[in-house]
Structure 1
Amino acid sequence: MVHRPIYLALLLALLLFNGGCRGPAVSPPVPVSSVELERYSGTWYELARLPMWFQRDCLQSRADYQLLPDNRLAVVNSCPTKSGGFKQATGIASVVDPQSNAKLSVTFDNWFSRRFPRLTSGDYWILVLDPAYQTVVVGTPDRKFLWLMARTPTVDDPTFAALLAQAREQGFATEKLIIFNWD
C-alpha cells in the first residue's frame, strides 16, 4: 500500500523533471551575424559588466585576444584588484558557430579547469559589434553575464548610452551593471 506522502513526493518529482516548476521559456539573445576574428583580436577595455563571482575583486578589466592558426583565440584577462594587487587569467576561446564566429566557448587555464574541463567552459556571445570593431557587447545566452567593452578605456556618453540600450533590448538587467571610468 502506497501512502499519500509518497504520492505527493512522486508528483513533485514528476513536475520538477518535466519542467512544471519553470516559468515561460525565454529565447536567448541574438548574436551578430558575422565576426572577423582577426579584426576582433587585440585589446578591449571593460566599460561595464554585470556582477559575477570570478571578477568580484577586479576593478576595470582588460581583455587581450590573439587569433591562433586554428581559428581559436588566445585570451588574457587582467585587472587591478581592490586590494592593490593584480590578477590575470589565460584561456582559449573556441568558435561554436563557424557560420558567424559570434558564438564562442571560453575555457580558462587553472587547476579547476584542468581537472574538470567540461565544467569550466563558458559561453561568450558577441551580441553587438560596431562595424569599425571599436565597441562590443558580449553576453551569455542565459543573460547572467554581460560585458560592454571598447578599444579605448573610455567612450563618449552617446556611445555608452547606445551600448547600454542595445544590451537592454537584448533582455539584460542593465540596471545592475557595474560601470567603470578609466580616467
Structure 2
Amino acid sequence: MKQFPAFSAALAALALASCTMPADPPPKSMHAQLKTATQVDVKRYSGRWYEVARLPQWFQKDCASATADYSLNKDGSIKVVNTCIQADGSRRSVEGRAEPADGTNSRLKVRFPGKWYAAAIPVPKEGNYWIIDLTPDYRHAIVGTPDRWTLWFLSRSPRISKQDFARMKKVAHEQGFDTSRLVVDAHTRIGG
C-alpha cells in the first residue's frame, strides 16, 4: 500500500498541529459561548450561497469561487453540496448531510460521508456548523465553529456592499473570531 505512509504522515502532522498553541492568547470573547441566530427557517435558508470570505482552511486550499447549496431531504435532514474552482480550473464538489442539533436549526451537525477524514473528525452533539448571524431577509449569513477556527461569510450574491461586509466582520470579531486572517473569495465584489 503506497498510500499508507502518506496517510500516516498526514495523521502525525494533524496530531502535532493539534498540540501547538497560538502565539497570542485568544480574545476574551473566545471563552464565551458562541451566540447563534435565534431561529433559522431551513426552507428559507435552502438554496445557493456564495462564499464572500472565510478563514483559511486546509480543505479549501487552492479553492476559489466557492458556493454552498442546501436543500431539504424528505427525512428532514439537509443536503449540503460545497463546490469550488481549483487552481487548475477544474471544479471540485463535496456532498454532505446536515442535521439540526437543536430546535433553533442554527446549530447543525454536518458530515461528509465517503471522505477519508469523515471518520477521523468527530461531530459533537451540539453541532459543528453554527449559523451565528443571519439577516432577516436571508441575504447574508455568518457560519462558524464553536472553537472559532472556521468561519464563512455567505451571501445570496457574490456582490456585497462595504457596509454589509463591515457589519459581518464586526459581528464575527465580537464573537471572538480572528477577522484579520479573512480571505476574500475571488468571485466576491465588495462595493458601495
- Is the TM value for this pair above 0.5? yes
Alpha-carbon deviation of 1:67? Answer: 1.0
| Structure 1 length-normalised TM | 0.80
Is structure 2 residue 146 aligned with structure 1 residue 141?
yes
Alpha-carbon distance between aligned partners in 2 of 1:70 and 1:58, rounded to the nearest angstrom: 31
Aligned to 2:157: 152
Identity %: 38
Aligned to 2:54: 49
* Map 1:86-125 → 2, pairs under 5 A: 86-98=91-103, 100-112=104-116, 116=119, 119=121, 121=123, 123-125=128-130
CA offsets per residue over residues 66-99 of structure 1, 9 Å max, x none? 011222110000000112221100000111012x
SS at match of 1:77: strand
Amino acid corresponding to residue 146 of structure 1 in structure 2: L
SS at match of 2:160: coil
Aligned to 1:66: 71
Match of 1:179 among 164, 176, 184: 184
Alpha-carbon deviation of 1:111? Answer: 3.9
Alpha-carbon distance between aligned partners in 1 of 2:89 and 2:37, rounded to the nearest angstrom: 37
Alpha-carbon deviation of 1:140? Answer: 0.3
Aligned to 1:33: 38
Alpha-carbon distance between aligned partners in 1 of 2:140 and 2:53, rounded to the nearest angstrom: 12
Is structure 2 residue 81 aligned with structure 1 residue 79?
no
* Unaligned 5+ runs, structure 1: 1-22
Alpha-carbon distance between aligned partners in 2 of 1:161 and 1:54, rounded to the nearest angstrom: 26
Alpha-carbon deviation of 1:120? Answer: 5.2
| Structure 2 length-normalised TM | 0.77
Alpha-carbon distance between aligned partners in 2 of 1:132 and 1:111, rounded to the nearest angstrom: 34
User: How many residue pairs align between the two structures?
Assistant: 159
Alpha-carbon distance between aligned partners in 1 of 2:164 and 2:59, rounded to the nearest angstrom: 27
* Unaligned 5+ runs, structure 2: 1-25
CA offsets per residue over residues 143-166 of structure 1, 9 Å max, x none? 000000100111111111111111
Amino acid corresponding to residue 172 of structure 1 in structure 2: F
> Conserved in 2, the CA contact under 8 Å of 1:154 and 1:181?
no
**Structure with greater Cα Rg:** 1
Q: CA 1:53/1:61 → structure 2, altered by over 3 Å: closer, same or farther?
A: same
